[in-house]
């Protein structure tokens, strides 16, 4: 007795069976899009395809929901990746889904790499962070598992212990903490725990800047500065010690300080005594 076969075409038989509701049949529409010139008709068809495939983009975004980023933001990034996939897709090169999934996924990963870090860190450090994060999750997913050590994570990932340490540090550097945040109960804001700038630093800077000018002074000029600013003698007492008038001491002090100040501000300038 002959076996009756269905009249399904070979093309339909070869077409892969779709297993999800978010992967619609759009081959004919993509072929049409590829033929249309720029204009309202093409824009409308492009928008139609975007709407049809948007559920798939949202599903891909959902895979990244537990990484500290808002799901709504991830969906927007996935939608951007979908639009890029639609614009770049060539129907002659295979199914759209095969092209769109890595395109959307790559767009989301770039978002995490470039936009969600509070501080920009090298890509290698970001990769180490992700490897360490996954390894730590794998090593602690069993009930009763101890906190994995650096050596344990290194053995699980094949990384060196130094690389694991870098990845662990990056885990704590993903988000910065506001200076107004309260790190612990009744401890005040974080800014309150930070030290203030030591005013002596400015003195050190000024002293270093003045060194060159001081070295160029004559012995008498250095003696006058020492008596005035280190022994705290008045101009009259300096004048009496040096055998000159108080007015002359005043003029000398003004001239010396002006010269040293100019030397500190512009060490390459040639300053001549007046």
76 and 146 belong to one structural domain: no
Q: Does residue 3 lie within any of the structural domains?
A: no
107 and 133 belong to one structural domain: no
Write out the two tokens for 225: 């500065």
Q: What is the pLDDT of residues 154-199, one digit of tens each?
A: 998 999 999 988 888 877 666 555 656 565 555 555 556 566 667 7
Write out the two tokens for 16: 């892969």
Across residues 94-122, what is the average pLDDT?
Answer: 81
* pTM confidence score: 0.44
CA proximity to 209, closest of 253, 261, 273: 261
Whole-Å CA distances, 114 to 51, 84, 206: 27, 18, 42
Q: How many domains does the chain have?
A: 3
Q: Does residue 99 lie within any of the structural domains?
A: yes
Distance from C-alpha of 42 to C-alpha of 34, rounded to nearest angstrom: 9
Distance from C-alpha of 196 to C-alpha of 156, rounded to nearest angstrom: 44
pLDDT at 146 over 90: no
221 and 234 belong to one structural domain: yes
109 and 29 belong to one structural domain: yes
Distance from C-alpha of 91 to C-alpha of 3, rounded to nearest angstrom: 36
Q: Does residue 273 lie within any of the structural domains?
A: no
145 and 209 belong to one structural domain: no
Across residues 90-94, what is the average pLDDT?
Answer: 88
Q: CB within 8 A of 236, min separation 6: which ones?
A: 246
Find how far residue 142's CA is from the centre of its chain. Answer: 33
What pLDDT, on a 0 to 100 scale, did the predictor assign at position 234?
92
CATH number where 102 lies: 1.20.120.1810
Please give the residue range of the domain that contains residue 95: 20-114
Picking from 72, 89, 114, the residue at the C-terminal end of a domain is: 114
Q: Does residue 205 lie within any of the structural domains?
A: yes
pLDDT at 47 over 90: yes
To 10 degrees, what angle do helices 235-242 and 246-265 make? 110
238 and 159 belong to one structural domain: no
What pLDDT, on a 0 to 100 scale, did the predictor assign at position 182?
60
Phi, psi angle pair for 179, to nearest 5°: -65, -15
The answer to whether the CB of 49 falls within 8 A of the CB of 33 is: yes
34 and 97 belong to one structural domain: yes
236 and 166 belong to one structural domain: no
Distance from C-alpha of 269 to C-alpha of 12, rounded to nearest angstrom: 87
35 and 93 belong to one structural domain: yes
Q: Does residue 5 lie within any of the structural domains?
A: no
Residue with tokens 């808002």: 70
Picking from 131, 158, 174, the residue at the C-terminal end of a domain is: 174
CATH number where 236 lies: 1.10.10.10
To 10 degrees, what angle do helices 96-114 and 71-88 make? 130
CA proximity to 221, closest of 169, 259, 179, 262: 259
- Judged by DSSP in three states, 150 sits in helix
153 and 103 belong to one structural domain: no
Q: Does residue 138 lie within any of the structural domains?
A: yes
246 and 161 belong to one structural domain: no
CATH number where 146 lies: 1.10.10
Q: pLDDT grade, residue 216 (50/70/90)?
A: confident
212 and 244 belong to one structural domain: yes
């Amino acid at each position: 007795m002959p076996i009756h076969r269905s009249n399904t075409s070979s093309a339909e038989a070869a077409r892969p069976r779709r297993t999800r509701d978010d992967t619609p049949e759009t081959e004919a529409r993509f072929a049409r899009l590829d033929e249309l010139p720029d204009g309202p008709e093409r824009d409308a068809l492009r928008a139609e395809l975007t709407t049809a495939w948007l559920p798939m983009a949202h599903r891909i975004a959902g895979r990244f929901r537990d990484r500290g980023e808002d799901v709504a933001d991830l969906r927007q990034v996935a939608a951007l990746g979908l639009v890029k996939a639609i614009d770049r897709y060539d129907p002659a090169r295979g199914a759209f889904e095969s092209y769109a999934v890595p395109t959307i996924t790559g767009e989301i990963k770039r978002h995490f790499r470039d936009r969600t870090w509070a501080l920009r860190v090298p890509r290698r450090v970001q990769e180490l962070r992700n490897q360490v994060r996954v390894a730590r999750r794998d090593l602690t997913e069993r009930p009763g598992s101890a906190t994995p050590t650096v050596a344990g994570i290194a053995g699980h990932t094949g990384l060196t212990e130094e690389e694991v340490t870098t990845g662990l540090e990056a885990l704590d550097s993903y988000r910065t903490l506001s200076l107004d945040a309260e790190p612990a109960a009744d401890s005040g804001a974080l800014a309150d725990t930070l030290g203030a700038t030591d005013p002596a630093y400015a003195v050190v800077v000024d002293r270093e800047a003045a060194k060159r000018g001081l070295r160029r002074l004559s012995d008498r000029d250095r003696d006058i500065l020492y008596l005035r600013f280190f022994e705290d003698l008045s101009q009259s007492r300096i004048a009496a010690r040096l055998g000159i008038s108080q007015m002359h001491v005043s003029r000398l002090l003004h001239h010396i300080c002006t010269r040293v100040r100019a030397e500190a501000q512009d060490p390459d300038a040639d300053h001549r005594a007046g």
